[in-house]
Chain A
């Protein structure tokens, strides 16, 4: 059963000599471990590095001497790298790599936290986890929109525009009606509107899908920017003061230490986003709709000869993608901020990167989005504790990772075969 997005193709294995991909990654990890042990170990101070399980300095905390921690975690990274280099069984690869990367981050944090000035040398884990999810949320919605589109063979570069239109119409109609639910529906319709344009031009008129996506992004920026200046700026009271979804505490679950306060005291969008990942993942790989969607994305002619209506399915998926992205846009304006011009600020493109990094699978996209969100959150945190590392450098990290992923260095990245190719009958 193909539960993975990219089944490992059993082509005749090529004899690559000693330097297999796993060994190359092992070597890189080994170098990182060396860096962590030597550099982070030397730079860390003997102060305690505190990781508190709350939002403040007090309360239960995990503590470790900075130098000891940096070196200890660095050595684990080193060992993981060495293990990969020596060669581990294939099924352990991901686990060992995960451990190696995690300990590298921990080593880094031990250095940073212990080197922070007195009174700020602690890291509130609840804040970090929650921040990670909040920052990842638009990426999750955006990447899911990408999954729905691209699995059926339509490239969705317009995620940015769908998010923006969703945020805008959510704010506008939420404000006018005074109801969050009306805002939510309007946001979905706004996203679907951009999607409909994409669908009509890409599927009906065979316009290049990437070009069309970019044009739609510009259109969304233009339209929302214009209306923002004409309506919202002149009468913010009326047009840009949407009500917001409050945080809902989930009984029992919200009492779990660390995860409870971070994850189960969130708003509708957080729950909806996580639920959608699960639902779309199951639907894609276990249902008739999913089978047909994937077949249309891989080999539309084959699907057509079996009586699957390729064009109708693509229309439906692209519009569904718009609905999802529109709701993602509303997670800004109906929960966090008032609408401002171009407020998505490129998140749609990072969502696209998360989609590719996550190999066109909903759960993969979730993990990628969380990784990007974490890097973002870390940059903010390090700025706050006055780290010596420029925060721009950290903010760069997600993009660097994406380039490596797209270049195929992190496993085989294979898009749906018919992605971006219009289907012409006959």
Chain B
């Protein structure tokens, strides 16, 4: 690493990027090898050693205490105290320090705001300020753009440039090629825990992707134009609260037709999760209706919804999708274990379950040592294939996939995508929810953008990304002209030109 350099660390999920950086930050201990800073070997026993050596890190999942104020979060661990042994906090000084740093790097944050009330983009800013107050020279950003809207991402890139200008070095971990090309000075690609190459930002996307996964992959999904049939799922005026009784779905209307893929795009936490859970009967609806093929299904139990011909890939496979301790075979019949041929009366039929499991494993290319292996021992991609195999083994009217490829390797992504399209082509209505915009654009025939509990726009898949990005940030094309989006100059001027694609 050079001073004042932005070094991108590129790799697939699970390639070892985050682990490497956690070692560098002192959270994990290396088994062998050493870390050199300014030519000297460094032994990091914990994060405080790393901080002392001038290394700061912004974690993928923010390391902020939600109920604390910004200032409290920033001073934690490096508190300025008065009163000797009693150690009274010097809040005034902490506040001043926050103000100074935000001023110097143009990162505005309110030191007295409670962190959990802040939007994700601002929370990330707090994280960066936190690192900067500790006088770091090297800042590690672990997947910083995963939770941001395209506009917030743009802002972050601006911040990174100004930090670079101030002489800070940045390690930027990501698997998004576009961002790497936009900002990095040097690129290191990691695969399965090994450095497989370095590249300059001039390298093409395809070259980088090939380095990343080790062979050339298709980044787009091959598919024929859809031939939509009659409406299968109709959602009207749906209102849903989350666990904290906050309104997160606020009057959603949707229609999904047979033989089409409706993609739902949006930054995470805008009600997508709760919308799907409400359709599946996992969460009570407060108002509105859900109709499946002409039948009212809201208020039904989840089991009844599933039996009515709905396939469901939940967004968190380890919590909602699988029982990790159960075998692959058992997980494959979780939904129909009590139906013939798998169950009869009170008894299960293990031979029937095993036979069907073998078929399914072959059909869906699940890489497992045996059908009896606990599903938790499989890789993320293969776990996901088990769920997809289970859900697509029933005759379906509607297939709902939430974040179908999160934390899944590129090979499995391709496979799962092709299965989703195949399901569409046999006339199933398909709904895909994803926070990866590329995935939604690749799969969907129509894209509904969700923002703060509402569908704020439905667009075609050939709509420019920037426009969808603005929708994800809650800016609709007709409002954009009047909304001064001064902080995103790179994108805002393009809007008028985009309107003719509507």
Contacts and interface: CB of A to CB of B under 8 A. Distances in A.
Do A and B share a complex? yes
A12 B246 contact: yes
B76 A308 contact: yes
A286 B117 contact: no
B495 to A, nearest CB: 28
B86 A298 contact: no
Interface in B46-78: 46-48, 51, 57, 59, 62-69, 72-73, 75-78
Interface in B445-494: none
B172 interface: no
A9 B115 CA distance: 10
Contacts of B89: 286-288, 290-291
A305 B27 contact: yes
B60 to A, nearest CB: 12
Interface residues of A, number: 33
Given A9-B114, A288-B81, A307 B47 contact: yes
B119 interface: no
Contact of A289 (B51, B62, B73, B87): B87
Nearest to B116: A9
A301 B63 contact: yes
B25 interface: yes
Interface in A295-335: 295, 298-299, 301-309
A251 interface: no
A408 to B, nearest CB: 11
Contacts of A89: none
Contacts of A50: none
A291 B75 contact: yes
A287 B84 CA distance: 11
Contact of B247 (A2, A14, A301, A425): A14
A12 B77 contact: no
A101 interface: no
Contacts of A2: 67-69, 72
Given A2-B68, A14-B247, A295-B65, A306 B78 contact: yes
Interface in A274-297: 283, 286-292, 294-295
Contacts of B68: 2, 294-295, 298
B67 A298 contact: yes
Interface residues of B, number: 39
A10 interface: yes
A308 B72 CA distance: 14
A400 interface: no
Given A287-B87, A291-B76, A426-B27, A305 B67 contact: no
Interface in B275-329: none
B179 interface: no
A299 B116 CA distance: 12
A210 interface: no
A302 B47 contact: no
Contacts of A426: 22, 27-28
A34 B230 CA distance: 61
A305 B246 contact: no
B241 interface: yes
B40 interface: no
Given A2-B69, A286-B89, A426-B28, A305 B114 contact: no
A426 B28 CA distance: 7
A304 B25 CA distance: 11
Nearest to A16: B245
Interface in A1-60: 1-2, 7, 9-12, 14-15
Contact of B245 (A14, A301, A425): A14
Contacts of A303: 65, 76-77
A299 B88 CA distance: 22
B47 A295 contact: no
Contacts of A12: 246-247
A10 B69 CA distance: 13
A10 B116 CA distance: 9
Contacts, number: 100
A299 B91 CA distance: 21
A302 B65 contact: yes
B215 interface: no
B79 interface: yes
B244 interface: yes
B81 A304 contact: no
A314 to B, nearest CB: 16
Interface in A175-201: none
Interface in B83-110: 86-89, 91
Contact of A306 (B28, B47, B114): B47
A417 interface: yes
B81 A302 contact: no
Contacts of B25: 305
A288 B79 contact: yes
Contacts of B244: 11
Contacts of A288: 79, 81, 87-89
Given A292-B76, A295-B76, A305-B47, A287 B81 contact: yes
B241 A287 contact: no
B326 to A, nearest CB: 23
Contacts of A304: 27, 47
Contacts of A306: 47-48, 51, 63, 76-78
Nearest to A8: B114
B69, B73, B77, B117, most chain A CB atoms within 10 A: B77
B457 to A, nearest CB: 22
Given A298-B65, A307-B46, A10 B114 contact: yes
B47 A425 contact: no
Given A14-B246, A287-B87, A426-B28, A307 B77 contact: yes
B246 A7 contact: no
B48 to A, nearest CB: 3
Interface string B221-254: 0000000000000000000010011110000000
B77 to A, nearest CB: 3
A7 B65 CA distance: 13
Contacts of B77: 292, 303, 306-308
Contacts of A305: 25, 27, 47, 57, 59, 63
B114 to A, nearest CB: 6
Given A304-B27, A305-B63, A291 B241 contact: no
Contacts of B88: 286-288
Contacts of B67: 2, 7, 9, 298, 417
Nearest to B61: A301
B79 A302 contact: no
Contacts of A295: 65, 68, 76
Contacts of A9: 67, 114, 116-117
A308 B87 CA distance: 15
13 contacts: A10-B117, A15-B247, A287-B88, A291-B79, A292-B79, A294-B68, A295-B65, A299-B65, A306-B47, A306-B51, A306-B77, A307-B77, A426-B28
Given A9-B117, A302-B73, A307-B47, 15 more contacts: A9-B114, A15-B247, A287-B86, A288-B79, A292-B77, A298-B65, A298-B66, A299-B65, A302-B62, A305-B57, A306-B48, A306-B76, A306-B77, A417-B67, A426-B28
Closest 3 CB pairs of A and B: A306-B77, A307-B48, A302-B63
Interface of A: 1-2, 7, 9-12, 14-15, 283, 286-292, 294-295, 298-299, 301-309, 417, 425-426
